[in-house]
Amino acid sequence: MRHLKKKFHKLTAEMLDMPQDVVYDLPRLTLIGDRQLYIENHRGVVHFSSEKLMLALSKGQLEVSGSDLVIRTIWTEEVFIEGVITSIQLLP
């Protein structure tokens, strides 16, 4: 059943020319150098400190590490952080 669902989503995305992040509910990350990160399609903040940000995703978590991290803007499904970003990891 899961295989059919994936095929249906892929076919729908192709036919309607929709981005896959919308169809599959995937996060969209926009990194500007190592100083700014804009994340869309998150499900909430799990942990935040000046060295680490953990966000819940529809499938797993996103871990952003660095120094002097600051949340500049946060909305229901979007977050914008600044600081020195040293790593970004998708965790299952």
- Give the tens place of pLDDT for each residue, 8-24: 666 666 666 655 555 55
What is the chain's alpha carbon radius of gyration, rounded to the nearest angstrom? 15
pLDDT given at position 91: 96
Residue 71 has pLDDT above 90, yes or no: yes
Q: How far apart are CA 14 and CA 8, in angstroms?
A: 10
- Give the tens place of pLDDT for each residue, 18-67: 555 555 578 999 999 999 999 999 999 999 999 999 999 988 999 999 99
- Per-residue buried b or exposed e for 3-39, using 16+ beta carbons within 10 Å of the residue's own CB: eeeeeeeeeebeeeeeeeeebeebbebeeeeeeebeb
> Contact, 27 vs 42, CB < 8 A?
yes
